[in-house]
Amino acid sequence: MSIINIGYYPPTDEVYISKANSKGIGINFTKEFLNVANAYFQENNIRHVISSDGAENLFINIKNDKASIEEVIDKLNKLLETLK
């Protein structure tokens, strides 16, 4: 079984996949990654994700319009109140 690496390349803002210890950048799969991310991180929603190493993060996918941004800000304010 091969080990697969997934990496982000900041100069081009793209996501690549390759076999572990292989030379070169690998296969660009930015579109596929974004399609899955958009399905997983639903629009105007906040998702709490805990990684295998215990790190906790919030992922937010906001539609770029005033109403959507206001909606997510309201959700973040409610979340903030629960953390105080």
- Are 66 and 29 found together in one domain? no
Torsion, Cα 5 6 9 15, to 10 degrees, reads 140
pTM attached to this predicted model: 0.60
Give the separation between CA 8 and CA 76, rounded to whole angstroms: 27
At 25 the pLDDT is 66
> For the segment 39-51, what is each residue's pLDDT rounded down to a tens digit?
888 888 888 889 8
Task: Tell the residue number behind the tokens 């770029």, with chain if given.
Answer: 64
Expressed as residue numbers, the domain containing 29 is 1-40
How many structural domains compose the chain? 2
Q: What is the DSSP letter of 14?
A: E
User: What is the structure's pLDDT at 2?
Assistant: 72
Examine the domain organization and report whether 13 and 47 are in the same domain.
Answer: no
Mean pLDDT score of the chain: 88
Verify that 33 and 51 share a domain, yes or no: no
Q: State the pLDDT confidence band at 20, using cuts at 50, 70 and 90.
A: confident
Asked whether residue 62 falls in the same domain as residue 46, the answer is yes
Pair of tokens at residue 31: 């579109």
Whether the per-residue pLDDT at 78 is higher than 90: the answer is yes
Are residues 47 and 84 located together in one domain of the fold?
A: yes
Which residues contact residue 79 at a Cβ distance below 8 angstroms, ignoring those fewer than 6 apart? 46, 58
21 pLDDT above the threshold of 90: no
